[in-house]
Chains A and B, each alone.
Chain A
């Protein structure tokens, strides 16, 4: 039992840094408190506050492995998309920058604009194509083009040489 637990904890710890590096992962606060019992509100709220004040200034929040791709999180105080924990002596600009980056990562404003008006299936397709091209352009900017150009020039040379059939074939006649 103990062995399995340690292996579990190791796997979880290995998961956490990799999750931080994922671009699409929204910064969500830790503990998922399962559907709340109304009987003791105080204790759960205390637990909440103590857990959420532990992360350092630099980290926005710790991701919970089980909710890696959840955009919203249900907490005692309601649903939210993004949470930023504020330290008291943090600079105003830095805080604002942090919040804006978190919101951008979560894609809140984009999503909101998209849902303002109805988009038909055609428009949806166009949007998806645009997004995909943006994503692919970012990942493969140049090496593909240089390889292609080399291939094209070599092909052209070969064609010119082979397409010209005016000269007699080399070698003696078979008879």
Chain B
């Protein structure tokens, strides 16, 4: 089963010798910003429309450690920095896919909006099991 419905062509690394050169020279105008906002961290990944990752950043990569990674401010910085790296490459239109329950969702969205990049859709793609695996037991805190 193909996950995203698009056939991702598998090209051997030997055949495609110019992959590294291609990466730096690529100018992608349309992309997708994935925001995974968990309670402990926020990871922002920028991919192209097919799902191939261009760049990523997270709260942890910007000096936040431990409990501070999960804060909305950390999410904001992660989003801002991720987009900064990508706007230089010429990205104009993006979709936003938000995953996970956290306070970082709203602030990262705000930061994305403020950075000046055009948004086409905002989607919530939090994975919902149709009563699948048994989750871990309740915490006695």
Listed in ascending order, the chain A residues whose CB lies under 8 Å from chain B are 36, 38, 41, 49, 52, 71-72, 76-86, 88, 92, 95-96, 99-100, 102-103, 106, 108-109, 111-113, 115-119
Contact = CB atoms under 8 A, between A and B. Distances in A.
A85 B121 contact: yes
B124 A117 contact: no
Given A86-B122, A100-B106, A109-B101, A78 B138 contact: no
Nearest to A111: B128
A138 B5 CA distance: 43
B128 A71 contact: yes
Contacts of A92: 110, 113-114
A118 B137 contact: yes
B26 interface: no
Given A52-B121, A77-B5, A78-B5, A112 B126 contact: yes
B10 interface: no
Contacts of A106: 124
B61 interface: no
B5 A76 contact: yes
Given A116-B135, A118-B134, A99 B122 contact: yes
Interface string B70-114: 000000000000000000000000010100110000100110011
A41 B125 CA distance: 21
Contacts of A79: 125, 127
Contacts of A99: 109, 122
A83 B4 CA distance: 17
Nearest to B127: A79
B66 interface: no
Given A77-B4, A77-B5, A96-B110, A118 B138 contact: yes
A113 B101 contact: yes
B23 interface: no
Given A52-B121, A95-B113, A38 B7 contact: yes
A38 to B, nearest CB: 6
Given A95-B113, A99-B109, A83 B122 contact: yes
Given A38-B2, A92-B113, A117 B137 contact: yes
B126 A108 contact: yes
A95 B106 CA distance: 11
Nearest to A112: B101
Interface in B118-141: 118-129, 134-139
Contacts of A71: 128
